[in-house]
Amino acid sequence: MQQKRNIQIIEWEDLDKRKFYSFGVFMTMTIRATVYPATLIRTRLQVQKGKALYNGTIDAFCKIVRAEGVKGLYRGFMVNTLTLISGQAYITTYELVRKYVSTYSSNNAFKSLVAGGSASLVAQSITVPIDVISQQLMMQGQGGHLTRFRVKPKLPGAKHKATFGQTRDIIAQIFAVDGLRGFYRGYMASLLTYIPNSAVWWPFYHFYAEQLSNMAPSNCPHLLLQAMAGPLAAATASTVTNPMDVVRARVQVEGRTSIIGTFKQLIAEEGFWGMTKGLSARIIASTPTAIVMVVGYETLKRVSLRPELVDSRHW
């Protein structure tokens, strides 16, 4: 009979913090660059009415590349890289809250749920203004008619407007129309999307990892099992929270003020299936994100393990 084994979890107090943060920035940047095109496609699919512009993820990809080139898939990317700050805030909050909750409960699922939700709250408070700007930039080009703000067209014969110039145009327009609060449009919708997503992802990640560990041969590397558990958890969390993600995208891009009103209008115009818009793109985006994040994050924690603990861990 195969002996049950547990995947070891490296906790916050086990880490060399300098290594952890140094390698963490590189890992986060790699993830952002990998999944950004899928994020852009998901945003355009969620904001369009019905199938006015794209018939799905593959169709959107082909049309964007054909009309705007590969660089069209990276509209707003430079602004989005500022979310590196929120990425580090997310990781730190998750690990610290998990450590704090450990003093009251040894239940791993509960610790992961509370820590994941708390980390998302902190990260979204930093991310939303960046998202508001980058989403407006994402919608330029083919999706320009779906947003309230447009980058000023270049004059005949002028060189292509630099990215920072386009960003400045969008920031100025948002501030002129909505003031400072315009940069936090959709904040509550983001919290209602990402806090549950994060709170669901971590418990399911550990659950799937343990189940796979129990089924796999004893010599199967834990990192491989964790890499498989990540996408399963991501697909589960994406499916559960996608309706709110559709509402969030519309609130932020279209400038709506009512979450409930946006939800009702979406149901009235497009029915239940409107809640699934962008889900395939979201899962496509979340799968490589989850694999890269899990492999990167677990490897990051292992290489950041305090030297005196290395020999005591077995993978």
Selected residue with higher pLDDT from 301 and 152: 301
pLDDT class of 138 with cuts at 50, 70, 90:
confident
Selected residue with higher pLDDT from 83 and 175: 175
* Residue whose entry in the numeric block shows the structure tokens 């909505």: 178
Helix 279-303 with 57-68: angle, nearest 10 deg? 80
Distance between CA atoms of residues 105 and 107, nearest Å: 6
Q: Is the pLDDT of residue 116 over 60?
A: yes
Tokens of 274: 């409107």
- In order of their start, the domains of the chain are 12-153+160-312 (1.50.40.10)
What pLDDT was estimated at residue 183? 87
HSE (side-chain half, CA atoms, 13 Å) at 308: 2
What pLDDT was estimated at residue 4? 45
8-state DSSP, 141: G
Q: Is the pLDDT of residue 3 over 50?
A: no
Q: Is the pLDDT of residue 201 over 70?
A: yes
Residue 157, burial from CB neighbour count under 10 angstroms (0-12, 13-18, 19+): exposed
What pLDDT was estimated at residue 2? 41
Q: Is the pLDDT of residue 162 over 90?
A: no
What are the φ and ψ backbone dihedral angles of 20, each rounded to 5 degrees? -60, -50
What pLDDT was estimated at residue 165? 66
Of 54-63, 235-244, 251-260, the range with the lowest mean pLDDT is: 251-260
What pLDDT was estimated at residue 149? 67
Neighbours of 223 (CB within 10 A): 15
What pLDDT was estimated at residue 49? 78
pLDDT per residue over 139-151, tens digit each?
877 666 556 666 6
What pLDDT was estimated at residue 270? 85
pLDDT per residue over 88-110, tens digit each?
899 899 999 999 999 898 888 89
Mean of the per-residue pLDDT values for the chain?
82
168 with 152: CB under 8 angstroms? Answer: no
3-state DSSP call for residue 122?
helix
pLDDT per residue over 9-60, tens digit each?
788 888 888 888 888 888 778 878 888 898 889 888 888 877 778 888 899 9
Q: What integer is the mean pLDDT of 227-242?
A: 91
Q: Which amino acid is at 198?
A: S
